[in-house]
Amino acid sequence: MTATSPATKAARQAQIAGILEHAQVRSQEELAMMLANRGVHVAQATLSRDLEELGAVRLRGAAGALVYALPSDPGGPGSWPGGVGGTGPEATVASAGPPARPGSRGGTAGHGGHAGQGGAAGEPAAFGALPRVAAELLVSAEASANLVVLRTPAGGAQLLASAIDHAEWRAVLGTVAGDDTVLVIARDPTGGEELAQKLLRQAERRA
C-alpha cells in the first residue's frame, strides 16, 4: 500500500515543505498551483499562515530571484521526519510538532493496546481525543498485513500513540511510538489496511 495522506493541517504542511525542499517557488500563487496539482486546494490566507508556521523565509536563489526556503535544523520547522522524506519532488516532510516525550526514536517506547468493549466493526463507542489529535498530527498512514505505520511531525508520535491507546479500540492490539513514527498493530492478521483507512477518517473528521 502506498502511504496515504489525510486532508489535515499536518499533511498539508508536509506537502508544502516537500515542494519547497525540491522546487524554486517564487510566489504563494505558484505554490498554490503546485499544491492544486497534488489535489490539495488551499485559500491564500491559509497558505500564508502555513508558511509562517513552517518558518518559511524568502531568500535569493541561484538565478537571482527571491524564492521560499525552510529552516533545515533537525527537528525544526520543515525538518524531515524519519522514513517519510525521499530524494524526489514527491517526497513528504512535516513541520515541527510538540516536544517528544521520553522514548527512543527507534520505536522502543511501547504502548499497550486496550481491549475495550468497542462498537461496530471493532470500533470503540467513543474515540475520545483521537480525532482532534489525529487531525493535528497524522501526516500519512501505510499498511501491510496487520501493521500500520503512521507518520507525524517531529516529536508527535508519542502523543498520537497515546490517543490511539486511550481510545480503547478493540481492533488495535497495541502501538509502538518513536519520535515521528507510530507502529500500530491490528488484532486481525490482515486488518492493517482497514485500520489505516479508519485512522485516516478519524483525522479528517476534525480536519
Q: What is the CATH number of domain 109-205?
A: 3.30.1360.40
**Where does the pLDDT of residue 145 fall: very low under 50, low under 70, confident under 90, or very high at 90 and above?**
very high
For the segment 22-46, the average pLDDT, to the nearest whole number, is 89
Enter the DSSP assignment of 107: T
| Cell reading at 105 | 526514536
- Reference 99, options 149, 59, 44, 158; nearest CA is 158
One-letter amino acid for residue 207 of the chain = A
Answer yes or no: is pLDDT of 83 > 70. no
pLDDT one-digit tens code per residue, 88-137? 333 333 333 333 333 333 443 454 544 333 444 455 545 678 888 898 88
Give me the pLDDT at residue 124, please. Answer: 54
Q: Of 203 and 127, which is predicted with more confidence? A: 203
Give me the pLDDT at residue 7, please. Answer: 72
**CA separation, residue 94 to residues 19, 66, 111, 152 (Å):** 11, 23, 23, 7
Give me the pLDDT at residue 39, please. Answer: 85
Classify 67 as helix, strand or coil. strand
Q: What is 131-195 written as a DSSP string?
A: HHHHHHH--EEEEETTEEEEE-STT-HHHHHHHHHHTT-TTEEEEEE-SSEEEEEESSTT-HHHH
Q: How far is it, in rounded angstroms, from Cα 123 to Cα 98?
A: 27
**Where does the pLDDT of residue 72 fall: very low under 50, low under 70, confident under 90, or very high at 90 and above?**
low
Could you tell me the pTM of the whole model? 0.56
pLDDT above 70 covers what percent of the chain? 70
One-letter amino acid for residue 69 of the chain = A
For the chain, give the mean pLDDT: 75
Give me the pLDDT at residue 70, please. Answer: 83
Residues contacting residue 52 through CB under 8 Å, at least 6 positions apart: none
Domain ranges of the chain: 109-205
pLDDT above 90 covers what percent of the chain? 29
